[in-house]
Amino acid sequence: MNDIITLNHGSGGKITHDLISGLFLKHFKNEKLNNLSDATVIEISSGQISFTTDGYVVEPIFFPGGNIGKLAVCGTVNDLAVSGAIPKYLSVSFIIEEGLSLKELEEIVKSMAAEAKFAGVEIVTGDTKVVNKGKCDKLFITTSGIGFIKKEFADIGIGSKVRNGDKIILNGTLGDHSIAILSSRESLKFETSIQSDCASLNHLIQKALDICPDISFMRDATRGGLGTVACELASKINLGIYLNEETIPVKESVQGICELFGFDPLFLANEGKLMMVVPPEKSDKILKILQSDKYGKEAAIIGEVTNENKSKVVINTISGGKRLLDMPAGAQLPRIC
Amino acid sequence: MNDIITLNHGSGGKITHDLISGLFLKHFKNEKLNNLSDATVIEISSGQISFTTDGYVVEPIFFPGGNIGKLAVCGTVNDLAVSGAIPKYLSVSFIIEEGLSLKELEEIVKSMAAEAKFAGVEIVTGDTKVVNKGKCDKLFITTSGIGFIKKEFADIGIGSKVRNGDKIILNGTLGDHSIAILSSRESLKFETSIQSDCASLNHLIQKALDICPDISFMRDATRGGLGTVACELASKINLGIYLNEETIPVKESVQGICELFGFDPLFLANEGKLMMVVPPEKSDKILKILQSDKYGKEAAIIGEVTNENKSKVVINTISGGKRLLDMPAGAQLPRIC
């Protein structure tokens, strides 16, 4: 019975303490977490911070290219980074189903620690709850994050700096994460070499901000995909967004599966992709710096901001037509993040 | 079908947006949340912040004296307040089971908004996920919080300021929350007038800090109860803790149910109780100020810090004996928070 999570692991008693020190502290080890108080005190040198939260309920919890833990760290790191912040501190809340194997939990915790190390963030506070078998689906994780943000970047996630003529850049292929998840579902398993693109993009973003501090807008294209990010941005600005489908990178294998299932890659979730809106005179320079990074090799300019079709997204399709892009009502795929 | 949560509410598409603006924004309304970017930018005037997170999986989600939403706000406010911070900003992550009624969700959201208003905090960022029916239990909430903390209070949650002779104060009766939850469980319903003590204690704590900035230690006695807080503190300091059972307030009705079920009120969860360790010369003054507050009427001095029994908790029982208090291995009651 020692190799699975029991309700007692969430009791707050000795068994909880053993789990915290034997597993979480062991891998997340840092001075702040070691205090084990319910709140962690953090020194703030800059005058502004960025604050974010996300729940992760991906099914299955292990998938090609990652697991729910890596996903949670990357997702929160990316939410901070696209807001213009330097991600610094994460909190982690685990909701665990009774019966989860400790081995699986440790593998997840290890990959969270590794991803946090890569991203340069510390996991400084956390919580663990256990619910009875059948009352959650193995493991849900909610991560919150704090980053330091310079005053000049405070509007980068909002869209108020977007101007007519700005170029739209995407850092790589769409849909990989969704298709990787789909391929690993019990009910539907199929053979594919597609891996989730799950990655912390903060170092990539930092490189771009270093050479071009006047990036107009950034947003990671997660749930809802690139299409939703574009539609949301358009709805907030008094300008139009034009996308050129031909230039949008999609893997052939992903495109094939999308055709089979009737998915539109524009609206599939990604976990390592972001849309950047940049002043036109800087676009080539930014493109080059993105392409020089592991997570931006296939970066491309995929469209621009226009004075036409205000608050709308128009896409020039590969077949030669034009269509208005509209946010879908519901999901193509539930529980992909 | 419009009156229940569906998977589409968690899709990130239009239906998600309608839920966010029609429900969450409507009740949580504030300038920061209205931006609807994935991260919120916050101005920090002080040099230190306190950061905390907690997941809530209480079952049932409505109980006498509160619901899961009120509990989540109070819990995070209290974790910040006992760390010596002034709670300021909260994030909220909802994981919702398909089929939850929108009416119930709105009632929960409303009470979160009301409690946030009372506590003086803003809910500035959030996330919503929906999982298939049977994959979670109605609703799980994870709240994270940020508070501003003065340098002189930074150690108040750690225990390093505790000295021999310090008095131990409790702000009211033990076990009310656990027994209220127990009484409302489907499998076990019984008639009782006991209400959860679920409350935001930050204003009470502020009053105490105002008259006595040199409080040695504070911790809210939630999961694991007062007994666990005392044992944890004792294990961290090279001093003993002595508790006098006779002085520990427990409602007669709670005591009766505890005897029936074999529970020890010392280890039952509370959601509006905290243990304070204070310099002896200030204890009467602090006791008075606590007793003058709605949430401290039954506050009492329940013990003291001693040079004997180092790193241990000794309790003088009502029956006249002495016993060593030990942290229980597991839980008396699962899913009480």
Residues in A touching B140 (Cβ below 8 Å): 95, 136, 140
pTM of the model: 0.96
Q: What is the per-residue DSSP string for A173-187?
A: -SSHHHHHHHHT-GG
So what's the pLDDT on residue B175? 97
Q: Helix, strand or coil for residue A214?
A: coil
* Residue with token string 């789990």: A19
Kindly tell me if the per-residue pLDDT of B187 is higher than 80: no
So what's the pLDDT on residue A2? 66
Contact pairs from chain A to chain B, CB under 8 Å: 284
Contact criterion met (CB < 8 Å) for B330 and A7: yes
So what's the pLDDT on residue A35? 75
A40, A57, A223 ranked by CB distance to B12: nearest: A223
Q: How far is B181 from chain A (nearest CA, A)?
A: 15
Closest CA to A130 of A96, A94, A92, A93: A96
Contact criterion met (CB < 8 Å) for A125 and B51: yes
Q: What is the CA radius of gyration of chain B?
A: 21
Pairing of the two strands B66-67 and B85-97: unpaired
Which of the pair, B22 or B32, is modelled with greater confidence?
B22
Its ipTM equals 0.95
Closest CA to B302 of B271, B269, B277: B277
pLDDT in tens, B241-255: 999 999 999 999 999
What is the crossing angle of helices B102-119 and B68-82, to 10°? 30
Contact criterion met (CB < 8 Å) for A39 and B85: yes
So what's the pLDDT on residue B11? 84
Locate the domains of chain B by residue range: 37-153, 167-325
Q: How far is A233 from chain B (nearest CA, A)?
A: 10
Q: Which of A2, A53, A135, A141 to mutate to test the interface with B (most CBs of B within 10 A)?
A: A53
Residues in B touching A151 (Cβ below 8 Å): none
Cross-sheet strand order for the sheet of A167-170? A217-220, A274-278, A167-170, A300-306, A240-244, A313-316, A322-325
Work out the number of other CB atoms within 10 angstroms of the CB of residue B93: 27
Contact criterion met (CB < 8 Å) for B223 and A12: yes
So what's the pLDDT on residue B319? 87
pLDDT in tens, B289-323: 999 999 999 999 999 999 999 999 999 998 889 99
Q: Which residue of B has its CA nearest to A98?
A: B334
Q: How far is A243 from chain B (nearest CA, A)?
A: 19
Q: Helix, strand or coil for residue B303?
A: strand
Contact between B205 and B294 (Cβ < 8 Å): no
Exposed / middle / buried, residue A2 (Cβ in 10 Å: 0-12, 13-18, 19+): exposed
The mean per-residue pLDDT over the stretch B220-237 comes to 95
So what's the pLDDT on residue A187? 73
Q: How far is A188 from chain B (nearest CA, A)?
A: 17
Architecture of domain B37-153: 2-Layer Sandwich (3.30)
Q: How far is A102 from chain B (nearest CA, A)?
A: 17
d(CA B102, CA B19): 9
Contact between A51 and B37 (Cβ < 8 Å): no
The mean per-residue pLDDT over the stretch B226-242 comes to 96
- What parts of chain A have a pLDDT lower than 50? 1
Residues in B touching A158 (Cβ below 8 Å): 35, 37
Q: Which amino acid is at B10?
A: G
Question: What share of chain B in percent tops pLDDT 70?
Answer: 98
Residues in B touching A274 (Cβ below 8 Å): none
Q: Which residue of B has its CA nearest to A49?
A: B42
The mean per-residue pLDDT over the stretch B42-70 comes to 94
B51, B79, B80 ranked by CB distance to A42: nearest: B51
Flag the least confident range among A97-111, B17-31, B263-277: B17-31
Contact criterion met (CB < 8 Å) for A91 and B53: yes
Kindly tell me if the per-residue pLDDT of B1 is higher than 60: no
Contact criterion met (CB < 8 Å) for B149 and A41: yes
**How far, CA to CA in Å, does B270 sit from each of B34, B223, B224, B229?**
34, 7, 9, 12
The mean per-residue pLDDT over the stretch B28-51 comes to 86
Kindly tell me if the per-residue pLDDT of B257 is higher than 70: yes
Q: Which CATH class is domain B167-325?
A: alpha beta
